[in-house]
Structure 1
Amino acid sequence: MTGTPNLIFTHQACALHGDVRASDGEAVPRGWRHPEQPLRLEAVLQGLSATPGLAAIERREPGLANPDRLKTLHGASYVDAMLAPVPGGIVDWYDADTGRTRGTPEAALLAAGASIEAAELAMSNHPTQRIFIATRPPGHHAEANRAMGFCFFGNVALAANRALETGASKVAVLDFDVHHGNGTQALLWDNPDTLFISSQQMPLWPGSGDVAETGAHNNVMNIPLAAGTDSAGLIEAWKPALARVDALEPDLIVISAGFDAHADDPLAGLNVDEEGFATLTAQIVALADSHSGGRVVSVLEGGYDLPALTRSVTAHASALFQGV
C-alpha cells in the first residue's frame, strides 16, 4: 500500500474567500481589513514551508464537499443560501462580522470537503494517520442554520459525523480556540458517540461555554479560562479533559486548532505561547497513539496576529507530525 502517515490538506482557492476591504463595498470602512483575511492562509503555509521537516510533508488539494452531505448537519435552505453566487465587488453580510464574497462558496465547500475527506482517509485502510487542514473559512461557530463568527459550515462536526459513518465507534473533538466552539457544540449536542471538549476565555464572545453546558448525553465538556491564562494554566486546565478522552478511548481525535489564545492575538486576552500549543498537541497525540491508532485530524480555526499564527501553527504541526 502506498501513502504517507502524514498529510496536509490545503487549496489556493481558500484564499479567494472574503478579502473584505473597502474595495469590496461601501459596508466596509476604507482601509480596514477583516481579521479573518486571506493573508492568514499565506502566513500558515509560509511557516510550514520554511520548516524543513514540515516542508517535506505531502500537500494535497481536497475536493469540494457534496452539498447534500452538508445538509446532514445543516438545514437545506441554509446550505443553499450560503452557496448562492455572490456578484464580484459585493460583500453579502450575514451578520456584523461574517460576510460572503464571490470566492466564499467555493472556499467554504473546500474547507468542509477537506474535513470530510480527512475523516474518510483516517478511518480507511490508507496509512495516513495524521492530517492538518490548512483551509479557510473556519467552521466552529457555524450552527445548523446560522453563519456567525467568520464561519459558514461546521467543518469539525462534519468530520466527526463522517468518521462515525465510516467505521468509528467514538470520536473526540477537542477545541482550544480562544472563543467557544458554540457551533460544534450545538451540532454534536445530541450525538452520544461524540465527546466535544472546548476551552475558551470567559467572559468573551460568543458568551456560551459554561461548565453547566454538558450535552444531551454528558458528551460535552467546557473549560472556561480567565483572562491572562498562560500556557501552564492552559495545560493544567486540560488535564481532566484529557482524562475523559483517555477513558473514552476514541477511534479518532479531531482538533479545532485555533491559535487566538496566543498572547499576541488582538481579539482576546489569554497569554498562551506557541510552546503551550505544542505541549497540548503532543499530549493529544499521545492519547491518539494509545487509543486511536495514531489517527488525528487537525483543522485550522482562529488566530489573527499573523506572525504569532505562523509560529503557533508551525509548533502545532511539528508536535502533530511527531518525528518529522
Structure 2
Amino acid sequence: MVSSSHEAMHRLFQHDHGVFTRTARALGYPFSELVDASLMPTDCTTPDALERRIDTLLRVDTHGSEGSFLLAVEAQSAKDPDKPGSWAYYAAFLREKYDLPVLLVVICNDRRTAAWAARPVDFGVPQWSTLTVRPLVLGPHNVPVVTDPDVARDDIPLATLSAITHSKDANAGAILKALAAALKTVDEDDAMIFAELTERGLGKTPAAATWRKIMAADLSFFRSETAQKLRAEGREAGRDEGRDEGRTEGRAEDVLLLLAQRDIAISDSVRERVLACTDFDVLEGLFIRAIRATSAEELFDEAAPTAARAEGASDSRA
C-alpha cells in the first residue's frame, strides 16, 4: 500500500515543477533555469498486463545545454532489491517512447536508504555491464537544511522538501518552525497545500508530533489534516464512534473546501457523492486528487471504483 509519506515526497514535484532544478543547483549540479515543465502520463504498463507506474513524471524544457528531458521522480522510504530493475525499465521505456533523455531522481527521508539508492547498479554479465542505473538521490545527506524563516520564505517548496527529507534528523523541529513561519506569509490556499504535503511527508516520525503542535497554535489559519484531526478529537474525545464519524465528515468537507478555494465549480451530484462517502481512505484519495484536479468530476476518474467497492462493502455489512 502506498503511504502518505511516499505520496508527499514525489507530489511536491507535481505542485512546484522547479523545486528539483533549484535544489540541484543548490547542491552544485549545473542544471539550467527551468523554462517550462508539464506533467506526463506515469503509466509504463506493457501489453503483458503487468502494471508499472512511475511516481511522478515531468517533461522539463530549459534554455541550457540539457534542452528538454524527462524528469522521473521516485519516492523511496526503504531498501527494495527489486527497485533498480524497475528503474532501469522506466529509463529505457521512457527513452524509447518519448525520444528524450531521462533523469531519474529518487527522494529519500532516511540516510541508509539514500546511501543504498545512490549506488550504481550494473545489469549484464560479470565481464561486461550492458546497462548501469545511477539515480540522482535527494535526501537528508544532501538536501539543504532550511532553518532560517527568510530562506524558507524565499522558496517554500524547497523548505517543504527539506522538512520531509530531514524528518528523522535532530534538527527537524527547527526546519518545521521556519517553514511554519514562512507559510504565514503566502496565500492561504498555497499554505494549506504545503502544510498538507509536509504533514503527509513526515509520516509517523517524531517530527510529526512537533508539526501538530505548531499547527495547533493557529488552527484558524492552517487547515491541514492535522488541524482537522485536532478539532475532531477535541469535539469527540472519549467517543470512538462519534470521533470516527466526525473525522470522515470533516475530510469530506476538506475536499469540497479545497475545490472551492481553487475556484473549481462543484455540481450538486459531485457534492452529494463526496458527502455521502463514509470511507476515510477513499476521501483521502479524493483530497489528494483535489490538489491538482481541473474539474470536480475529475476526482472520480480513478477513485470511483474504490468508492464503489467501499459502498458495496458497507451495504453488505448492513
> Structure 1 length as normaliser, TM-score?
0.29
Larger Rg: 2
| Higher RCO structure, 1 or 2 (CA under 8 Å, sep 6+) | 1
> Structure 2 length as normaliser, TM-score?
0.30
